[in-house]
Structure 1
Amino acid sequence: MKYLLYLLFPIITFAQEKAVLVTYKAIYNTELPTTKNGYLYISNDQKKTIYFTENIKKTGEEKGKDIDVTIKLSSGKRQFNHFNYKNDTLITRDDILKESLLVKEKIPHFNWILSDESKDIDSGMLYKATCYFRGRNYIAWYSPTTPIKAGPWKFQGLPGLIYEIYDETRRYNWVLVQVEHSNFNFNSEELAYKEKETISIEEYAQLKFNNSNSLDEKILSKLPRGAKIVNQKTFRTGFEIKFEWEEEVK
């Protein structure tokens, strides 16, 4: 057994790449408030990054609200955002109901507006930047002295590491917890998807927001017999609620 471990160790080491691990606290002030950790791995050459949040189980239900049944529809697969800057691609794994989808798009452009406004923290000075992206206005605080141009979820493109970012309603918030050296296998089986397994961002938006009939059928299939959907809300929710091709031409 000892010799077997010696033989396996170089293989395990070889699969891992040196990386920087940035841990964020993700705070979602949604209908079901959630706080969990988010993990951003950045390759040493900064040509690849991957961000994912931990899976947590919700227990208990809020009472006294006009909600008869609350259901969590998840495929159980880890959701992530995988950037490959060399190929100008972003692959996102996301769920629509219990179906896990791989969504491919070009790396999004964030039209950041940099500000002279700053604030001092223990590790140095942070500067403010703002942008509009897919239906939400965001405020970011970044460190230009940290030579990492990345952040949680799909956020990137600032001249430094994002320490804090939130939308103007404070519905979605990310706060940096720590930065450390680590290892990550960017060639893992989880990331070994094929082109035919992906859909475009346009197809994803169509499935998520413009397919209400099949959505109702899938939801009803998860409810107790005889249940029905009442007071259905049609507003969009999530990080992305309006896409580039949907914006009005001015």
Structure 2
Amino acid sequence: MKYIIYLLFPLLTFAQEKAVLITYKAIYNTELPTTKDGYLYINNNQKKTVYFTEIIDKTDEEKDENVDIKVRLSSGKKGFNYFDYENDSLITRDDIFKESQLIKEKTPNFSWNLTEEKKIINDITLLKATCYFRGRNYIAWYSTSTPIKAGPWKFQGLPGLIYEIYDETRRYNWLLQKVESSTYDFDSEYLNYKNFETITIKEYAELKFNNKNLDKKLIAKLPRGAKIVSQKFFRTGFEIKFEWEEETKEED
């Protein structure tokens, strides 16, 4: 893979509106395989970052051979991950059964394990790091030669830019495509969560995985005359087990 790097941070100190744009290729080997571009914007002092993926118009978001209709589970609103490091906060917009939610949490701790393993791609030395985060084991390849400490989705905390990261099952993969100068409005209405209701990460997990009203909501969305022959519920997504659940397991 040929990485394209147009310029680095030292050249971007002359204007508040300037930012670095890092484009990733997001490859999801899920029940409905998807490949799309992800965009990471980083402001000049690296105190704010915004990551989102392109919206791909699909007829279906979930399909099962035992379900005789197709259900769209997206709200249609663009999701994002917005880090405000000065306020130690991460705001995520995500969908829970067609309902868009703003989730607020503190900057997650990935507890990276830095290794001495290296690989060189296009004359760029990448270092390997691993971590366990919310139910998945991740492998990251990063470079300390680029003065950017960030990555796609919620990934951060490494001493360099993440060029490649994936979970051990290769279900979720991100590959850096290019780095370039750009502009971005980090104070836009799109990111102004202060005027809207937010929920905690724990409330998000409860709504997504322990919602007793989910069956009723699902049935209410079905076309007239449709029925579900059988139901399979299992946790899926980037985050499938949370810190408080791990703590409860250890106490038991």
Is residue 249 from structure 1 mapped to residue 242 from structure 2 by the alignment?
no
Name the counterpart of 2:146: 146
Is residue 202 from structure 1 mapped to residue 202 from structure 2 by the alignment?
yes
1:71 positional shift: 1.8
Determine the C-alpha separation between the residues in 1 that align with 2:195 and 2:243. Answer: 23
1:58 positional shift: 2.1
1:84–1:119: structure 2 CA closer, same or farther, 3 Å change rule?
Answer: same
1:68 positional shift: 2.4
Structure 1 counterpart SS, 2:238: coil
Determine the C-alpha separation between the residues in 1 that align with 2:133 and 2:95. Answer: 21
Name the counterpart of 1:5: none
Name the counterpart of 1:229: 228
Is residue 87 from structure 1 mapped to residue 62 from structure 2 by the alignment?
no
Structure 2: runs of 5+ lacking an equivalent:
1-14
CA offsets per residue over residues 112-144 of structure 1, 9 Å max, x none? 111111111115111111000000000000011
Percent identity over the alignment? 72
Determine the C-alpha separation between the residues in 2 that align with 1:223 and 1:127. Answer: 49
1:61 positional shift: 9.9
- Which letter maps to 1:238? G
1:196 positional shift: 5.8
Structure 1 counterpart SS, 2:87: coil
- Contact between 1:16 and 1:186, CA under 8 Å: does it hold in 2? no
- Which letter maps to 2:133? F
- Contact between 1:16 and 1:184, CA under 8 Å: does it hold in 2? no
Determine the C-alpha separation between the residues in 1 that align with 2:103 and 2:62. Answer: 33
Mapping of residues 88-167 of structure 1, within 5 Å: 88-167=88-167
- Which letter maps to 1:227? A
1:101–1:227: structure 2 CA closer, same or farther, 3 Å change rule?
Answer: same
Determine the C-alpha separation between the residues in 2 that align with 1:154 and 1:145. Answer: 21
Name the counterpart of 1:3: none
- Contact between 1:131 and 1:137, CA under 8 Å: does it hold in 2? yes
1:101–1:59: structure 2 CA closer, same or farther, 3 Å change rule?
Answer: closer
How large is the RMSD of aligned CA atoms in angstroms? 2.1
Determine the C-alpha separation between the residues in 2 that align with 1:178 and 1:231. Answer: 45
Q: Which has the larger radius of gyration?
A: 1
Name the counterpart of 2:33: 33
Higher normalized contact order (CA 8 Å, seq sep 6+, divided by chain length): 2
Determine the C-alpha separation between the residues in 2 that align with 1:193 and 1:113. Answer: 33
Is residue 46 from structure 1 mapped to residue 41 from structure 2 by the alignment?
no
- Which letter maps to 2:80? F
Determine the C-alpha separation between the residues in 2 that align with 1:68 and 1:195. Answer: 41
TM-score, length of structure 1 as denominator length: 0.89
Structure 1: runs of 5+ lacking an equivalent:
1-14
The total of aligned residue pairs comes to 235
- Which letter maps to 1:119? K
- Which letter maps to 1:125? T
1:61–1:246: structure 2 CA closer, same or farther, 3 Å change rule?
Answer: closer
